[in-house]
Amino acid sequence: MGLGHRASFALVSPVVEAIGLEKTYRRRRGDDVRALRGLELTVGEPGAVHGFLGPNGSGKTTAIRCLLGLIRPTSGQVRVFGVDVTERFHEVAHRVGAIVESPKMFPNFTGRKNLALLAQIYKLPSTEVDRVLEIVKLDGRDRDTFGSYSLGMRQRLAIAGALLKDPELLILDEPANGLDPAGIAEMRDLIRSVAAQGTTILVSSHQLSEIEQVCTEATIIYNGLVVESGSLADIRARHGAVDVIVGIEHPEQAVHVLSAAGISASVRPPSSGGATPGASGGLPLITVDVAPTDAARVTRVLADNDLYLSELRVEASTLEDAFFRLTAPPSPTAVDRVEVAA
């Protein structure tokens, strides 16, 4: 299936679209769980890798289950390729590959046999098994039993299974879960190579750093609601704040005088990487919440109080910092930071 064919669908409707999605799990004890509270999600561009991000319990798996027609939303709409999947997922099932939570495979069968069974179910030629084994780079281990696979290999086999249908949309729920750094890097390579073929990918994670490098766009959710969404470049521009880092002998005193001057500052924990001996010669560091253009004001306030810094540098805070700020439960310090940055 060519990219041109795939692209033509996007002109008609977004690949994935959730509007006002609500899901309340009714429990017998009566304490209902509002897992989704009006979630909006749009995955537009074919070949996009859309990161679906949020901390544990924020509603990612619930939303993905709704997208796959596995559960019925309490209210709202969810469409895949323009089709209302709550009622008619079967109409798009052949265009969507997915892994939700731990993939089910037969442990005593080889990887190849497991895929061959799936191919049979989908009525696909067995040559498709070789195709997907090659994509996920398991072609050397396909005769080993699934039970003998490492976690990373199991994840890759599951993805191979999801790729059998040559789907236009691949939905991966936490594919990096439990993988070591090398496994996560392999997963990213795999996502990149699948997306490069024109497949749109929706990939969830509770850790931004795991998938940040492969996403072209992202939706960040917290507590069943979207807190940020857009292209990665836009999210970075909105949240990739800069911090001014100051190396100074009396950090607590410096924080105190800066705060008195209305400048938010905090002592940097020694573990945060910034405390490694640099030009500051190993002096303690403080992080100051000001625009880089205001750095001179920091110097002046400190000097006015007989505090002299030995190093001042501007450091871009990572998107991960923004992710934590957006998805952290409200605390007095978090609120302070947002107010100062606003």
Ligand X SMILES: Nc1ncnc2c1ncn2[C@@H]1O[C@H](COP(=O)(O)OP(=O)(O)OP(=O)(O)O)[C@@H](O)[C@H]1O
Q: Which positions touch ligand X (CB under 6 A)? A: 25, 27, 33, 35, 54, 56-62, 206
35 contact choice in ligand X, Mg ion, none (CB below 5 to 8 Å, kind-dependent): ligand X
Closest approach of ligand X to the CB of residue 204, in Å: 7
* Nearest residue to Mg ion on Cβ basis: 61
206 contact choice in ligand X, Mg ion, none (CB below 5 to 8 Å, kind-dependent): ligand X
Host H or E run for residue 172: strand 169-173
Cα–Cα distance list, 311 to 281, 308, 314 (Å): 9, 9, 10
- Looking at this protein, which amino acid is placed at residue 33? V
For ligand X, the closer of residues 237 and 328 by Cβ is 328
For ligand X, the closer of residues 74 and 145 by Cβ is 74
Cα 216 to Cα 233: distance, rounded to the nearest angstrom: 8
Closest approach of ligand X to the CB of residue 63, in Å: 7
Locus of tokens 């897992």 = 35
Closest approach of ligand X to the CB of residue 221, in Å: 7
Other CB atoms within 10 Å distance of the CB of residue 116 = 18
The CA-to-CA distance between both ends of the chain, in Å, stands at 48
Cα–Cα distance list, 113 to 70, 108, 131, 144 (Å): 26, 10, 14, 10
* Closest to 164 (Cα-Cα) out of 135, 198, 204, 193: 135
For ligand X, the closer of residues 207 and 253 by Cβ is 207
Q: Which of 10, 14, 23, 61 binds Mg ion (CB under 5 A)?
A: 61
For Mg ion, the closer of residues 61 and 280 by Cβ is 61
Closest approach of ligand X to the CB of residue 206, in Å: 4
Residue 110, interface with Mg ion (CB under 5 A)? no
Cα–Cα distance list, 121 to 94, 118, 125 (Å): 12, 5, 11
For ligand X, the closer of residues 50 and 60 by Cβ is 60
Closest approach of Mg ion to the CB of residue 19, in Å: 21
Q: Which residues of the chain form contacts with Mg ion (CB under 5 A)? A: 60-61
